[in-house]
Amino acid sequence: MTRNCDEYKWIVKPAWEGRNELARQLRVPELVAQLLYNRGITEPEQARAFLHPTLKDLIDPARLTGIDKAVKRIRQALCDGEKIVIYGDYDVDGIMGVSILWQCMKLTGHEVDYYVPHRIDEGYGLNMEAVRELAEKGTKLIITVDCGITAHESADEAARLGVDLIITDHHQIDGSPARSVAVVHPDLPGQDYDNTNLCGAGVAFKLAWALGQEFSGEAKVSDEFRQYLLAATSMAAMGTIADVVPLLGENRVLASYGMQGLANCQDNGIRALITAAGLDGAKLNSTDIGFKLAPRLNAAGRMGHARLAVEMFTRSSAARAIETAKYLESQNRQRQKVEKDITEEASRQVVKLKMDAKAWRGIVASGENWHGGVIGIVASRIVDKYHRPTVVISQQEDKAIGSCRSIPGFNIHKALTACSEHLLGFGGHEMAAGLQIELDKIEPFRQAFNHYAAEHLTEDDLVKKLNIDAEVALAELTLATAKAIEQLGPFGAGNPSVKLVARKLRLVSHPRRIGKSNDHLALTITDQTDHDKQLQPGNMIRAVAFGKANMEKKLIAAKTFDVVFAPTINHFNGNTTVEMMVKDFQIP
């Protein structure tokens, strides 16, 4: 069996014996019942809730420990006219969370300020200098969004300066949270909250909901607050999808409902962003958010200052929002070029230092003046290419900062903890993290990181894997089935996009190279083995294989081949058809 250069290992999930019965009870195709089973869903009621998420499934914000204290302190500050600053992270999750809370407080009749640190100059989180600056300007209450849980020194400084701190965050902590008036966090020990994977914007949404209840005087918020919260689900959805938290349970509800509302959202910032991305009139999905909208927002923090993006969702007029969105578009194009250059340089370093060898388990690449705003994306690109946990470090004069990305089954936060003697500081998640390091410690850290990875990863762990939901015949891919599969979305972390395999296929005609660089393939294929019989529509399907033009000659020469793909629905010239989005080929 030969494979393309990506060398994926195909893993097809076994057929479930209960698929027929679940399909009958739900009145869905058997394939959909199998897909539900693959996602751990076997009971009809559980399946109905998954296929039809509703806002009634959102968890009461009162179950978040500390939220009552936070609400009371915020109300006091608003009523007393104290200066309040919402302090948020510079990524999409932080930008959305800050905007949600700012709009909430605006609705109460008060305008508060916000502060977003500069990614390069200040780094992640609540920093000491910012706290001092805000205190000097008369700030009496700082509310963090998507940060602050481990900022012990900055929190102590805020207390010394007479500034109260409310922390809203979702990042992992070791030990006690930083000193504050209240901590609102979905994963604190001893609390009864079912969604420990709520993102920063999700936590901000819950605090806004609780504030709405407080100012409405009852659990059921006023009509004005209700309309605001419904609109705010779109911002929460963007933060949820962009931050790659599992799209299950409450996160699935927020992502699904908020995503549906994006196309008709009246927020100036969201409208301008959608227009700049060329998505006007489109039915948006999680891919649109993750790969089109989110990168434009992240470009603000990566290439400039994320405060500009927050302004677009808070104080901007429609005209100003359009102007900002166009600027972010240019920033994103610049980001793409810088990212491409650094990725190529980092890849050359990987080969030069033989970190792509089988014996090497963890990659650490570093370079002088690599743009600190894009090294996280570069780390992801290196992971995609070599399938190893990766740290990319930017050396800036007398200091260095790094971004880390992992592979399934390897907790990179634990890896950094094990190597902490070489680091000035670090923080993050199981799959992504950041660090600070002295220049002369980079090489010892590289060795220590690789040593830890070697102890915790096998050779098989380093093989890219395609987890496939089911094997199908082309005749099963009806429009009704494809529409039923769409209901399993939004897809993302915790709910991966559907991947199917069809075997013993052949070309109906020669493939066509498409795309600006002719590096994609468009092909029509069939699973009908009898060449003499007339092809039936159910045995034929159009497929698109992005980045696989190198397979053209091999497919032409092959008698048959197998394909892993995602089924998609294509609307063109008034016709609606099912197509394949090819993930991989194998030629027997």
**291 located within any domain:** no
**What CATH number does residue 68 fall under?**
3.90.1640.30
191 and 254 assigned to the same domain: yes
Tens of pLDDT along 473-528? 999 999 999 999 999 999 999 999 999 999 999 999 999 999 989 999 999 999 98
**328 located within any domain:** no
Residue 414 DSSP class: H
- Please check whether residue 499 is in contact with residue 295, taking contact to mean a CB–CB distance below 8 angstroms: no
Sequential DSSP letters for 20-83: HHHHHHHT--HHHHHHHHHTT--SHHHHHHHHS--GGGSPPGGGSTTHHHHHHHHHHHHHHT-E
Provide the β-strand partners of residue 541: 525
Distance CA 263, CA 257 (A): 12
Low-confidence ranges of the chain (pLDDT < 70): 1-6, 532, 536-538
**379 located within any domain:** yes
* Residue where one domain finishes, among candidates 261, 289, 314: 261
* Residue where one domain finishes, among candidates 239, 261, 283: 261
- Please check whether residue 220 is in contact with residue 166, taking contact to mean a CB–CB distance below 8 angstroms: no
Which of helix, strand or coil describes residue 395? strand
Q: What is the CA radius of gyration of the chain?
A: 25
399 and 458 assigned to the same domain: yes
Helix H or strand E encompassing 132 = helix 128-136
Buried b (16+ CB within 10 A) or exposed e, 172-199: ebeeebbbbbbbbbbbbeeeebebebbb
Q: To 10 degrees, what angle do helices 30-38 and 19-26 make?
A: 110
Distance CA 20, CA 62 (A): 41
Instruction: Give me the pLDDT at residue 5, please.
Output: 38
95 and 203 assigned to the same domain: yes
Which of helix, strand or coil describes residue 406? coil
Instruction: Give me the pLDDT at residue 26, please.
Output: 96
Sequence-ordered list of residues with C-beta below 8 angstroms from that of 539, at least 6 positions apart, any chain: 474, 475, 526, 527, 528
184 and 246 assigned to the same domain: yes
157 and 182 assigned to the same domain: yes
175 and 227 assigned to the same domain: yes
Nearest to 407 by CA among 443, 341, 363, 441: 363
- Please check whether residue 405 is in contact with residue 333, taking contact to mean a CB–CB distance below 8 angstroms: no
**214 located within any domain:** yes
Instruction: Give me the pLDDT at residue 6, please.
Output: 53
458 and 479 assigned to the same domain: no
Instruction: Give me the pLDDT at residue 538, please.
Output: 65
380 and 504 assigned to the same domain: no
Residue 493 DSSP class: T
Which of helix, strand or coil describes residue 542? strand
Pairing of strands 363-368, 390-396: parallel
- Cα angle 514-11-343, degrees, rounded to a multiple of 5: 50
Which of helix, strand or coil describes residue 312? helix
Sequence-ordered list of residues with C-beta below 8 angstroms from that of 357, at least 6 positions apart, any chain: none
**What CATH number does residue 536 fall under?**
2.40.50.460
**209 located within any domain:** yes
**277 located within any domain:** no
**What CATH number does residue 358 fall under?**
3.10.310.30
449 and 479 assigned to the same domain: no
Nearest to 474 by CA among 531, 558, 537, 530: 537
Instruction: Give me the pLDDT at residue 74, please.
Output: 98
For the sheet with 432-437, list strands across it.
363-368, 390-396, 399-405, 432-437, 425-428
437 and 520 assigned to the same domain: no
Domain that holds residue 43: 2-51+465-587
**385 located within any domain:** yes
**208 located within any domain:** yes
43 and 10 assigned to the same domain: yes
How many residues belong to the chain? 588
- Amino acid identity at 457: L
Sequence-ordered list of residues with C-beta below 8 angstroms from that of 351, at least 6 positions apart, any chain: none
What total of structural domains would you count in the chain?
3
Q: Is 98 exposed, middle or buried (0-12, 13-18, 19+ CB in 10 A)?
A: buried
* Residue where one domain finishes, among candidates 436, 462, 488: 462
Instruction: Give me the pLDDT at residue 2, please.
Output: 35
19 and 64 assigned to the same domain: no
